[in-house]
Amino acid sequence: MTDAGLALADWFTAHRRDLPWREEAARLDPYRVLVSELMLQQTRVATAIPYFQRFVARFPDVRSLADAPEGDVMAAWKGLGYYSRARNLLEAAQAVVREHGGRLPEDFAALRRLPGVGDYTAGAVLSIAFGVATPAVDGNVLRVLARFAGLDGDVARPATRKRVADLSAALSPPGRAADFCEGLMELGATVCLPKTPDCGACPWSGACAAFAEGRTAELPVKRPKPPPERSERTALVVRDGAGRLLVEYRESGLLGGLWGFPEREAEDAFEARSGVRPDLAGARPAGVVEHVFTHRRWRMEVFACSVARAADTPDGPESRDDPPPRPPFRWVTEAEFEALPVSKAFQKVWSTARVFTGG
């Protein structure tokens, strides 16, 4: 089997795309391999390239990232989505500094204990940066090896994934772990595509069971994904007398580490939580926003309103200062809002409200 593995490694060195994380210095740096692999989870290569370049320029090593405030890290990640990856990367860097002297461990179990690092990421870091042949099984690798070996099992099942991992380990040629590991990824990304595989360009076409049997369209076997869970929500865009926006920081959950607009709730409850009383009676519907996460679909009605004013203020409503909000709420200008780490869902909310209010 190692002959097939060697053929793939040779194919990769001849045909690999020119990507910033594939420069020799980056491939030898476990930190940069880790950054690239986390960025490439659920993100297209073309999208990840400028983010990777800016991120490693801003945080060139584990210690610089570990010392960075969370807000700076989230801002560097802004627009890339799936922000839990950024939080995990920061926590992993802090753990590496605290527990491993600032060097990523050359040990599978130790890597797996780092936040956000699963079997695939640990295998990729070990194979690419350390040259230790370790299976790194993602969707591309599952598809390539399921076709290569003619596997009929559902690739979502642990038993099938284990067969693929074992096959990867058996195919990896001695001394070429990095090229073989990235070769599997590259083959799945550029040649062995889900619907239109280019079998004529594949270095494995002569040994591929699916190609020989005319089954490339049938493999891999995948059970259908359930539709995303729908969630009906509201978003409240509140302005104070100076035109500033009320924003809320979410410490945990789906959008943990990000700022956004608060959700509408009863006036008394909203004031008790935020320290701000919005004029809900005067709230105006600004539009509807839909946003799809991996397993969830949010439909958000957007309302715009101002801060409620006291009718009995002696010198008139404009003389009363707007109340300072309680943490985790904050008043920000539009320019300050644009600089905050904000999820795409709430960026859509802001675009809708801004057009509606003329902001």
Structure tokens at 46: 């073309």
Apex CA 69: angle with CA 294 and CA 255, to 5°?
Answer: 20
Write phi, then psi, for 229 (nearest 5 degrees). Answer: -70, 125
The C-alpha atoms of residue 127 and residue 13 are separated, in whole angstroms, by: 15
Residue partners of 51: CB distance under 8 A and separation at least 6: 39, 76, 77, 79, 80
Q: Give the pair of three-digit tokens for residue 232.
A: 């009906």
B/e letters for 317-338, b = 16+ CB within 10 Å, e = fewer, are eeeeebeebeeebbbeeeeebe
Encoding tokens for residue 95? Answer: 């753990």
Among candidate residues 101, 93, 172, 90, the one with its CA nearest the CA of residue 135: 172
H or E element at residue 330? strand 329-332
DSSP 3-state of 291: strand
Contact 203, 11 (CB under 8 A): yes
Q: Map residue 87 onto helix, strand or coil.
A: helix
Pseudo-torsion of CA 54, 58, 61, 67, nearest 10°? Answer: -140
Distance (Å, whole) CA 180 – CA 5: 7
Where in the sequence numbering do the catalytic residues fall?
Answer: 37
Give the gyration radius of the chain's Cα atoms: 25
Alpha helices in 59-138 (DSSP H): 62-66, 70-77, 84-100, 108-112, 119-130
**CB distance 52 to 36 below 8 Å:** yes
